[in-house]
Structure 1
Amino acid sequence: MEGMTRGELAKRTGLSTATIRYYEESGILPAPQRIANGYRIYMDDYLVKIKFIKDAKSLGYSLKEIQEGLQMLSQDMEAETLQGLVRDKIFEIDERIKSLHSIQTMLAGLLQTPKKTFITTCNRFVIRMSKRRNWI
């Protein structure tokens, strides 16, 4: 049986062994097979799954969303279902961009505050922003 150890998988994917273990324990990756000596053996499909995880993370998907996506991909999923998930993520990203743009505009305005009142204005700004959801 060909395959690789967790350490070899870590080297090939650029992840730490602790991250791979976390992905297994949290159910993002399935538990690998064990060989006679008790070692875990990872087949090449783990490389594909980890690439999917890394790509999805870089696109802003949460680990929970990635786990759900991997589960759906392991089933026969309709293209429309996957397209709907992608549309939902695009909408979420658009909303985040709008929020960040609004914060950027407010920060630029904050820089226009006179030096004498800058600290007070900054404190008010922080209080105001802390009441907003997802401002950081």
Structure 2
Amino acid sequence: MAIKGITIGTLARKAGVNIETIRYYQRRGLLQEPPKPAEGYRLYPLEAVARVLFIKRAQRLGFSLEEIINLLRLGEGNCSETKALAMQKLSAIESRLQDLERMRRTLQQLVQQCESGVAEARCPIVASLADREFDAR
């Protein structure tokens, strides 16, 4: 007897997510909900595991669920469009990294001011956050 599919619990376990994640992906249109037979449980095709794993890997690369829907829609045959989406994501990540580096430098400077003991009666970190002129850029 051949296996016709797997239950939602088995799908979740094999993909390393919880059942609510599977249901959420269904509501968002990332994963199709199989029909429920008159008796028994819905059975998901084995390919559903690969699809959930694809979604999770794309999320780890920073893609939103909307972007992942687009990637799935494009499929494997649209490399140039997929590349364009990846380049947009890369640009956004690089911009965010620049912002994070600016924030890091600012915090390093503030911590150094505290450690130097030159700080006046006010804590330089709290003072800079309270200062309306403060800008981490």
- Shift of the alpha carbon at 1:38? 5.4
Q: Does 1:9 align with 2:11?
A: yes
Task: State the alpha-carbon separation in 1 of the partners of residues 35 and 121 from structure 2.
Answer: 61
- Displacement over 6 Å in runs of 4+: none
Q: Does 1:121 align with 2:124?
A: yes
Identity of aligned residues (%): 30
Are the structure 2 counterparts of residues 50 and 117 from structure 1 closer, same or farther at C-alpha, using a change threshold of 3 Å? farther
Gaps of 5+ in 1: none
- Is there any run of 5+ residues in structure 2 with no aligned partner, and where? none
Task: Give SS of 2:93's match.
Answer: helix
Question: What amino acid maps onto 2:93 in structure 1?
Answer: I
Distance 2:55 2:129 in 1: 35
Structure 1 length-normalised TM: 0.80
Whichever of the two has the greater Rg, that structure is 2
Following TM superposition, by how much is the alpha carbon of 1:121 offset from its aligned partner in structure 2, in angstroms?
2.9
Q: TM-score, normalised by structure 2?
A: 0.80
Matched residue of 1:40: which SS?
A: coil
What's the Cα RMSD here? 2.5
Aligned to 1:102: 102
> Structure 1 counterpart of 2:99, which letter?
S
C-alpha contact 1:6 1:17 (8 A) present in aligned 2: yes
1:14 deviation in Å? 1.0
Match status 1:112 vs 2:125? no
